[in-house]
């Protein structure tokens, strides 16, 4: 079954965003720079990560061309459209061992795909040496969801060169991505896209939307009314005409540790006993939840 490799969470300023996630209790990696104008800092978990991202070198962002997806341009435009919110979750990324095979599979399923895309960057190791990190990406989009992008990420490097135990240990005891959420006016009408993306067997229909099982995580696709009912006023009003990600939740080994981080950082949150939520207004436009490990 497909699993989540990472989530892309856009922020207006990378240093400010990175510092906020540290206040949430995450151990963040040092800043890294992409060759296409964006920079990031990661909260590495067990088998996945949160990518806090901003446009750091706008002069290096390539414009999109027919058949070619521009990662930098999409996130630049996403941030520009969400100035009032300060950013938000823009992309959901799936694990893969073969990005080219994903592209072929998605194209055959009728999804909109793009030319092969890959890049490399240097990563400083604990001993001071630099290693080359390589990535191959396969993008898929849907005209009904212009503000949400999906892609798979093939890591072309040894896992130990990317994941580091010291960056996988967090004060909030986060272990893995538990859930992500998308709001859409008619969730059920999007079932065909998700069937093409991850297979019909991963899709479940509920009274208030869709549930897409992604290994240990669940993507919930909710209507605006269902979103409001589920979070009881925690979410700001949404534009139902433009489906978009509304946030994510991470599993924690000790939920009390996550609570202590939020209290110590004076970050407002809602506590429902088995879940703790930080509203988008306090988290640069993206709902962030902490849940107990099952």
- In angstroms, the CA 206 to CA 223 distance is 11
- Give the chain's domain count: 2
* Farthest CA pair distance, the chain: 54
Say yes or no: 155 and 264 in one domain: no
CB 51, CB 120: distance < 8 Å? no
pLDDT tier, 131 (very low <50, low <70, confident <90, very high otherwise):
confident
Same domain assignment for residues 12 and 124: yes
> Which of 167, 202, 231 is at the close of a domain?
167
pTM: 0.96
pLDDT confidence of residue 41 = 96
Give percent above pLDDT 70 in the chain: 99
φ, ψ (nearest 5 deg) of residue 247: 155, -165
pLDDT confidence of 123, banded at 50, 70, 90?
confident
- R_g (Cα) of the chain, nearest Å: 18
On the question of pLDDT at 294 being above 80, the answer is: no
Domain end position, chosen among 167, 183, 205 = 167
pLDDT in tens, 237-258: 877 678 999 999 999 999 999 9
Residue 144: half-sphere exposure toward Cβ, Cα within 13 Å: 15
The owner of tokens 């990563």 is 123
- What CA–CA distance (Å, rounded) separates 34 from 57? 9
- In Å, how far are 181, 242, 262, 272 from 90, measured between CA atoms? 11, 13, 24, 26
Question: Are 24 and 161 contained in the same domain?
Answer: yes
Taking only the tens place, the pLDDT of each residue in 200-232 is 999 999 999 999 999 999 999 999 999 999 998
User: 10 Å Cβ neighbour count for 204?
Assistant: 12
Whether the predicted pLDDT of 1 surpasses 90: no
Tokens read off for 199: 């297979």
Q: Which residues contact 125 (CB under 8 A, 6 or more apart)?
A: 131, 161
**166-199 confidence digits (pLDDT tens):** 999 999 999 999 999 999 999 999 999 999 999 9
Q: Both tokens of residue 9?
A: 């969470």
Residue that finishes a domain, picked among 107, 133, 167: 167
pLDDT at site 216: 95
Same domain, 113 and 194: no
How far from 12 is each of 57, 79, 207, 263, 283, CA to CA, in Å? 13, 7, 36, 24, 12
The residue range of the domain holding 233 is 174-292
Q: Please state the rounded mean pLDDT for residues 91-118.
A: 97
185 and 282 share one domain: yes
Residue 12 has pLDDT above 80, yes or no: yes
Same-domain check for residues 182 and 102: no
**Residue pointed to by tokens 């151990």:** 27
Predicted confidence (pLDDT) per residue in 253-276, tens digit: 999 999 999 999 999 999 999 999
Do 160 and 181 share a domain, yes or no? no
Same domain, 144 and 184: no
User: How confident is the model at residue 180, as a pLDDT?
Assistant: 98
Tell me: do 115 and 224 sit in the same domain: no
pLDDT surpassing 80 at residue 128: no
For residues 56 and 182, state if they share a domain: no
Looking at the structure, do residues 159 and 31 belong to the same domain, yes or no?
Answer: yes
For residues 138 and 24, membership in a common domain is answered with yes
CATH of the domain at 113: 3.10.180.10
**Residue 238 to residues 85, 161, 206, 223, 246, Cα–Cα distance (Å):** 11, 40, 21, 10, 9
């Amino acid at each position: 079954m497909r699993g989540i490799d990472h989530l892309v969470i856009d922020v207006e300023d990378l240093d400010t965003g990175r510092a906020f996630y540290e206040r949430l209790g995450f151990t963040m990696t040092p800043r890294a720079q992409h060759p296409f104008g964006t920079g990031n800092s990661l909260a590495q978990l067990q088998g996945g990560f949160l990518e806090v991202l901003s446009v750091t070198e706008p002069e290096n962002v390539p414009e999109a061309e027919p058949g070619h997806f521009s990662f930098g341009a999409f996130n630049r435009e996403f941030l520009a459209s969400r100035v009032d919110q300060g950013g938000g979750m823009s992309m959901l990324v799936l694990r893969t061992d073969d990005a080219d095979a994903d592209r072929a599979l998605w194209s055959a399923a009728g999804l909109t795909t793009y030319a092969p895309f890959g890049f490399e960057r240097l990563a400083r190791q604990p001993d001071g040496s630099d290693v080359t990190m390589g990535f191959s990406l396969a993008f898929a989009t849907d005209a009904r969801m212009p503000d949400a992008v999906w892609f798979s990420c093939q890591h072309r490097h040894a896992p130990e060169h990317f994941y580091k135990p010291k960056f996988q240990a967090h004060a909030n005891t986060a272990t893995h991505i538990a859930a992500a959420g998308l709001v859409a006016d008619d969730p059920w009408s999007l079932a065909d896209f998700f069937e093409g993306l991850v297979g019909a067997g991963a899709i479940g229909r509920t009274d208030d939307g869709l549930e897409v099982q992604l290994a240990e995580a669940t993507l919930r696709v909710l209507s605006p009314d269902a979103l409001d009912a589920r979070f009881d006023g925690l979410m700001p009003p949404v534009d139902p005409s433009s489906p978009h990600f509304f946030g994510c939740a991470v599993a924690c080994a000790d939920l009390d540790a996550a609570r202590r981080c939020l209290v110590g950082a004076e970050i407002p949150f809602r506590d429902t006993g088995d879940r703790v939520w930080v509203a988008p207004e306090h988290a640069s436009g993206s709902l962030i939840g902490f849940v107990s490990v099952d």
